[in-house]
């Protein structure tokens, strides 16, 4: 008897199919993980750029109201599909010795400004970072 029987061929093809499907699922998962990682890295870079822009800008007189800076005004490049929202507001410490900051609309010592940077991609928020800036 020469050659392979039909059962042996079918078994070999089935095993190759199972191995192939497993390999394709692994590659698909790796590709999705790479895309998620890329989005997070780009989001982090955009947050850093936005915070640097805020740090280099002059102090905004906001007095407790959020000021929204549109991304079209940004001084850095924003990739397609991403959006960067920058909010700022004046804050002042409740107690000079306190370690926390409380929002107050009428503040004698309005030397602090809170900035919130939000980066999103296709409607999904990737990162939200808050920072304080002191008037000098």
pLDDT in tens, 78-93: 888 888 888 877 776 6
Calpha distance 104→106 (Å, rounded): 6
Which backbone phi and psi does 11 adopt, to 5 degrees?
-65, -45
Mean pLDDT of the chain: 78
**Do residues 115 and 54 touch, judged by C-beta distance below 8 A?**
yes
Domain that holds residue 91: 6-134
Q: Is 101 inside any structural domain? A: yes
What is the pTM assigned to this prediction?
0.64
Q: Is 1 inside any structural domain? A: no
Average pLDDT over residues 48-58: 81
Tens of pLDDT along 85-129?
Answer: 888 777 766 555 444 544 444 555 567 778 888 899 988 999 999
Q: Is 125 inside any structural domain? A: yes
Rg (the chain; Cα; Å): 27
pLDDT band with cut points at 50, 70 and 90 for residue 65: very low
């Amino acid at each position: 008897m020469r050659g392979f029987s039909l059962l042996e061929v079918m078994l070999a093809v089935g095993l190759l199919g199972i191995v192939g499907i497993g390999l394709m699922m692994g590659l698909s998962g790796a590709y999705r993980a790479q895309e998620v990682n890329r989005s997070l890295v780009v989001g982090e870079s955009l947050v850093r750029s936005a915070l640097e822009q805020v740090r280099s800008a002059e102090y905004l007189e906001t007095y407790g109201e959020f000021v929204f800076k549109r991304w079209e005004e940004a001084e850095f490049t924003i990739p397609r599909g991403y959006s960067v929202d920058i909010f700022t507001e004046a804050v002042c410490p409740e107690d000079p010795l306190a370690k926390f900051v409380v929002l107050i609309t009428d503040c004698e010592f309005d030397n602090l400004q809170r900035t919130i940077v939000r980066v999103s991609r296709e409607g999904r928020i990737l990162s939200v970072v808050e920072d304080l800036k002191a008037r000098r």
